[in-house]
Amino acid sequence: MAEEKIARIAREIYENVGGTQNVKKLIHCMTRVRMTIIDDSKVNLAGLKAIDGVMGVVEDETLQVVIGPGTVNKVAQAMVDTVGVRLGEAFPNAEGQSIDDLMAKTKSEAKEKYNKPSKFKAVLNTISKIFVPLIPAFVGAGLIGGLASVLGNLVTAGTLDAATWTQFITVLKIIQSGIFSYLAIYVGINSAQEFGATPALGGVIGAVSLLTGMNPELPLKNIFNGSALSAGQGGIIGVIFAVWLLSILEKQLRIFIPDSIDIIVTPTIGLLVIWFAEIFAIMPIAGVISSSLVGAINFILQVGGGVSGFVLGVLFLPMVMFGLHQILTPIHLEMIAKTGSTQLLPILAMAGAGQVGAAIALWLRLRKDKEFVELVKGALPVGILGIGEPLIYGITLPLGRPFITACIGGGIGGAIIGSLGQAGAIAIGPSGLALLPLIANGKWWVYLLGLLGAYVGGFIATYLFGIPKDAKEKADNYGKSVQMETLQPTLRVVTTPEFSSSVISSPLDGNVKELSSIEDEVFSSGMLGKGVAIEPTNGEIVSPVNGVVSTVFPTKHAIGLTSDEGLEILIHIGMDTVALNGEGFESFVKQNDRVRKGDLLVRADFEKIKAAGLSTITPVVITNSDTYREIIITHGATISKGQEIFTVKA
């Protein structure tokens, strides 16, 4: 019923302002929907005021429809959803079209807009959605795995005693393998959720790629060249593609399979068909590509020097994505057997170092995007230790361009090692700093120079050429439209005790004025309830009651409280201060916090507010005034925080 009410109010507002085609854009603040109207003559003010749920209307530079805290955010969101734009974005104008035609057109335009510049970007976005939920596990298990690698390499190098450390290292590796060894299963589940397939079946498809039921003595054959298939052949990308096929097949099967047998028939057919495609097409094709690359890699190694180092450093991460890196294992082992070390591994390790440099550049260029920065902070330490999945799948690949510039950084590091030469690893191990103890013949400094070169190369390439325009715009505007964010309603049950009267104290120091004396009609007319206006003398705003913080507006310029007696109080700091986007306000509480009378809620810089040409007058309103028999207000005096300002009689 609540959703029906929101949809009704949104629809009726449009009906009374001349339709969506008469609105340029729409935002909301703590109490009202603000619309920029194209033709004022088409607005039916009487009709707007008559809408059930609308508390009043204010005509200003924008048309302001007062709905009240807690509901306004939902109505505003419903209104922009109707035309397929976001809060604050320009509405498409379609004078003369019907509402239905306009909606269809704008939704189509929005869809087309978000798909630009290409479908490739949509693919990257899908990959991001699949891997972002795995990032916490990547980071935790990655750090543990990095520690295990460092300790293991020190044991291999003879620095640590094997008898003392081996069991501890084994336990750490078991924890690490919980996600990295079975990553295909997690990816299969998440891919199924993204594509609309059954998650459990997606997990099975991922597990199929691991070939866990195959007898090593009787392996499955590549139908193209007869070679044995190996676990993971086809890579994570192959799993995603197979699950995508599963989602299509499931949807088609459910068109004609009766519901009574759907749970039996659909998963059985789905798994059989996709298993066939995965085992006899996806994995073999990857195997053919792998076999072809062996010759190419051998040729590159023969060329030698910085050229081979650059090419291998650039290409290694794309090979990992497609599961093609496994072809390199026998090459590593052959090199170690013949020369005592593999000079290929240190070069390939540069690919991960390029990702580290790219991530640091992204951190600096997009530092205003706090959410993105938190992702980078979590992924960087793991990447430095040689676990690259969080950086690849959570940071660079979803953005597209940074993945390429990171690969270039890896190529630069590879070129450095290839040019200096003689930096080999005595065993197959991780990349990153963790590989240092395994570098043979005291050539660790060559490997370290390569790492630094890859860091710097990935950083410079990304900083100059790898920042996507939309990501930069998002970061530069992070928080600037915060006043348009949707507020989540407080979900709680308030038990209102019986009381004869309740006292509310002043939340700030200042001079008390009548609410009717301020210029904002929404407050002065009493639309939102009875209250007072305070001209503040200092910037500390405290709680006037014992109760709960019901709402903190994102810009911190307004706060809602519900007292233990059920009184709903709105404190609006200054007039039109939503335009400051939070500048000059410091909040000390958040939604649902328990507060006592006198607790500090917000500290406001009133000098900054005045410098912006805005009024500091602060309305304090009881928004559910109609619930109570009488509200006695103290007028016309100087008041201090904590002194009585209202007496409410129930």
Contacts of 372 (CB under 8 A, 6+ apart): 362, 366, 471, 475
Cβ pair 343, 424 in contact under 8 A: yes
In this predicted model, which residue has the larger pLDDT, 486 or 82? 82
- Cβ atoms of 499 and 628 within 8 Å: the answer is no
**Pairing mode, if any, of strands 644-649 and 32-37?**
unpaired
Give the residue carrying structure tokens 């009906």.
Answer: 15
pLDDT 10s digits, 341-379 = 888 889 999 999 999 999 999 999 998 888 788 878 878
Q: What is the pLDDT of residue 536?
A: 92
Q: Residue 91's closest CA among 18, 13, 23?
A: 23
Mean pLDDT, to the nearest integer, of 525-551? 87
Q: Report the pLDDT averaged over residues 15-44.
A: 87
The pLDDT value given to residue 355: 94
* Residue 378, strand partner residues: none
CA distance 230 to 211: 8
| Tokens standing for residue 569 | 């109080």
Go through the domains of the chain in sequence order and give each one's CATH number: 2-88 (3.30.1360.60), 490-649 (2.70.70.10)
- State mean pLDDT over 466-491: 60
**pLDDT band at residue 3 under the 50/70/90 scheme:** low
Over residues 181-202, the pLDDT tens digits come to: 888 899 899 888 888 888 899 9
Dist. CA 29–CA 27, nearest whole Å:
7
Tokens of 584: 């000059």
Calpha distance 413→76 (Å, rounded): 52
235-256 and 199-208 helices cross at what angle (nearest 10)? 140
| 534: phi then psi, degrees, rounded to nearest 5 | -120, 125
Q: 262-285: b or e for each residue (b if 16 or more CB lie within 10 Å)?
A: eeeebbeebbeebeebbbbbbbbb
State pTM to two decimals.
0.45
Strand, helix or coil at 312? helix
Q: Would you call 407 a catalytic residue per the annotation?
A: no
Q: What is the CA radius of gyration of the chain?
A: 32
d(CA 83, CA 21): 10
Would you state the pLDDT for residue 119?
63
Confidence category of residue 17, pLDDT binned at 50, 70, 90: very high
CB 346 within 8 A of CB 423: yes
Handedness of CA 149, 153, 159, 165 (dihedral sign): positive
User: Pseudo-torsion of CA 188, 191, 197, 203, nearest 10°?
Assistant: 10
How confident is the model at residue 458, as a pLDDT? 94
Average pLDDT over all residues of the chain: 80
Report the distance separating Cα 562 and Cα 267, nearest Å: 51
Q: Is the pLDDT of residue 503 over 90?
A: no
**SS3 per residue for 144-164:** HHHHHHHHHHHHHCCCCCHHH
Give burial (CB, 10 Å; 0-12/13-18/19+) of 495. Answer: exposed
Take residue 427 and report the two structure tokens written for it.
Answer: 């065993």
The per-residue b/e assignment along 429-458, b for 16 or more CB within 10 angstroms, e otherwise, is: bbbbbbbbbbbbeebbebbebbbebbbbbb
What was the pLDDT predicted at 455?
96
The predicted pLDDT at position 476 comes to 79
| pLDDT-derived band at 121, boundaries 50, 70, 90 | low
Dist CA 306 CA 310 (whole Å): 6
Please tell me the predicted confidence (pLDDT) of residue 156: 81
| Distance, CA of 440 to CA of 427 (rounded, Å) | 9
- Checking if the pLDDT of 105 tops 70, the result is no
Cis peptide before 219 (omega within 30 of 0): no
For residue 367, what are the contacts with CB-CB under 8 A and spacing of at least 6?
373, 475
pLDDT grade, residue 488 (50/70/90)?
A: very low
Amino acid at 384: I
Percent share of the chain, pLDDT over 70: 83
Average pLDDT of the residues in 563-568? 86
pLDDT given at position 324: 60
Percent of the chain clearing pLDDT 90 (strictly above): 18
Measured CA to CA, the distance from residue 403 to residue 164 in angstroms comes to 41
d(CA 148, CA 382): 12
Distance CA 118, CA 95 (A): 30
Question: Which residue in 6, 9, 10, 29 is the catalytic one?
Answer: 29
Nearest to 618 by CA among 154, 30, 79: 30
Residue-wise pLDDT for 211-222, tens only, equals 888 887 888 887
- Please, what sign has the CA dihedral across residues 178, 180, 181, 186? positive
Measured N-to-C along each axis, helices 135-156 and 162-180 cross at an angle, to the nearest 10 degrees, of: 150
What are the residues whose beta carbons fall under 8 Å from the beta carbon of 331, sequence distance 6 or more?
Answer: 294, 297, 298, 342, 344
Give the whole-angstrom CA distance, residue 394 versus residue 379. Answer: 8
